[in-house]
């Protein structure tokens, strides 16, 4: 089955450590996105990528980094510079960044807790 997979589902880290969240898709989509969701809030865009080897900052990119070395993969690193990293992280993909008439597919999310 085609889809988008995030791992792990739950992640615990100590404060000051960097952590990388995985996102893989087998939908042959060019565009991929990372969102952050805090309790009771909507999703906020962290980074997005239109195509391999290209990515752009979203609304809340500070303290995060990404790479897009392969079409299928868009890992997100939460660095120690992120002041409030505990949140629910969601990855998504769509056929193209500018395809307005298509849907986005979301992973099941990674819940990161920093202690």
Partner 1 sequence: DAKTTQPNSMESNEEEPVHLPCNHSTISGTDYIHWYRQLPSQGPEYVIHGLTSNVNNRMASLAIAEDRKSSTLILHRATLRDAAVYYCILITNAGNMLTFGGGTRLMVKP
SS3 60: coil
Angstrom CA distances, 17 to 64, 67, 103, stand at 12, 19, 35
Q: Which of 27, 45, 60, 61 binds partner 1 (CB under 8 A)?
A: 45
Binding flag, residue 102, partner 1 (CB under 8 A): yes
SS3 55: strand
Binding flag, residue 27, partner 1 (CB under 8 A): no
Size of the site for partner 1 (CB under 8 A): 30
Contact 71, 28 (CB under 8 A): yes
Q: Would you tell me which residues interact with partner 1 (CB under 8 A)?
A: 6, 31, 33, 35, 41-45, 48, 50, 58, 90, 92, 94, 96-109, 111
């Amino acid at each position: 089955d085609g889809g988008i997979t995030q791992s792990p589902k739950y992640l615990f880290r100590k404060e000051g450590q960097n952590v990388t969240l995985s996102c893989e898709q087998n939908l042959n989509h060019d565009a991929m996105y990372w969102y952050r969701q805090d309790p009771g809030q909507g999703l906020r865009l962290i980074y997005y990528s239109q195509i391999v080897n290209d990515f752009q900052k979203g609304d809340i990119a500070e303290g995060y980094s990404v790479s897009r070395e392969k079409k299928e993969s868009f890992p997100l690193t939460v660095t120690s510079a992120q002041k409030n990293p505990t949140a629910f992280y969601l990855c998504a993909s769509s056929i193209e960044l500018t395809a307005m008439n298509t849907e986005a597919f979301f992973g099941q999310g990674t819940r990161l807790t920093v202690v």
